[in-house]
Structure 1
Amino acid sequence: MESCLNFASSAPSRRSGMLRKHLNSPLLTIDSAPHFTSCKADLTAASSSIPLSNIRYSCGSLQSVSKAKWTSNHSTDYWVLRSTTQIENTITSNEDRSMWEACRQALSTFNFSDEEKDKILGKAFGLIHSPYWGEDRTKEVPKFEAVNATLDYLRSLNLSDDDLSKLLKKFPEVLGCNLEEELKANTKILKEQWGIEGKSLRNLLLRNPKVLGYNIDCKGDCMAQCTRCWVRF
């Protein structure tokens, strides 16, 4: 690598400056040592007999990009596979599969992919780990009636389907919160104690939807349940 940089710096031409700039680019440094060796060989040949304009100085950059792209896709595929396995380990009966598919259908209006629907439902009902629940969330297969009732209630808070789509991506666990004891109780608290309702409530929920799931107020004496504590409000 040092040879590459020394050669580039010694040549007086404008193209040499362009070459040095290319060698210092982040794209080049993505890949491993064998490609730098290849680069060195090309430049050595160039210094002896080949005009600078004919030097092949890609230095494996296309291979680097391909490698990075494959790694990203591989990571996504691994997440989907792992999440699917977690869900399938819980949903074992035909009845459970029918219930899961019905809940998927309840989310169909938001144009989520099947993977996104599974992620939302999985995080909401403990089938996929979520730091929001800590260790408290029991795994359960969601019921269509419960999911639909929650969505209907959220719509009643002046949230459009586009709003709900954003909210569910930001806070999928909302579907697993208790409708009466948490969602409705918390919106009542927001209205009565802070005067937040209507448009102000809509704006708050788009900014901080987790407020719907708060179920504890430590009042400054930490109870190690910070993700669901009113102290965060």
Structure 2
Amino acid sequence: MKKKLVALTGAGISAESGLATFRASDGLWENHRIEEVATPEGWARNPALVLEFYNQRRAAARAARPNIGHRTLAELEQEFEVVIVTQNVDDLHERAGSSRVIHLHGQLFESRSSRHEELVYPMHSDRIELGELCEKGHQLRPNIVWFGEAVPLLELAAYEASTADVFLVVGTSLQVYPAAGLVDYVRRGTPIYIIDPSRPPVSHRPNLHFVTEPATVGVPQVAAELRAQ
């Protein structure tokens, strides 16, 4: 029976494929304040701006390619039962070949009703336009979990973390909650590998390993170590 490996991934792994992260030092995301484009209040004020912002993000994500970090996590499915829990909204994990991906913060290539959140639709183009409606007549919006909104898949992600035999944290500062709290669900003594150049703050616990490298270096390094065990 394969051991279960759960990987929590964040913006750092996508940044290495050229996708901008929202944690820029100037507080802007692609020249927009986070409050303008990633909150329900921003959507209420200017839905046209929000739609165009994510239309541009979709085009950028479509042009990006999975990197060796994404591909190595997918290849680990040969030896492990792998579950990816990602804070990223792009589809790079899927395109790299990962078969079980939980998108905590939603998916860029889905739209949903602005009134009925259960009405979610796969997107066949890179754009949602103002005036494009769900089947019940309400404006479509990106299927993204914005700041201030509930995280519907958090309970599932917590369960996966709690049943991991190995837990990886890749390219995330562990500053964005509730996702950052998933480390606390990992059973004590389970090996945790934290792969990030910045060495995110984590409470000391047994079997904690820091790999202060970017994902493209650290993930293959840890994968080789796990295969050798």
TM-score normalised by the shorter chain: which range applies? under 0.3
Larger radius of gyration: 1
TM-score, reference length from structure 2: 0.22
What TM-score comes out, normalization by structure 1 length? 0.22
Structure with higher helix content: 1
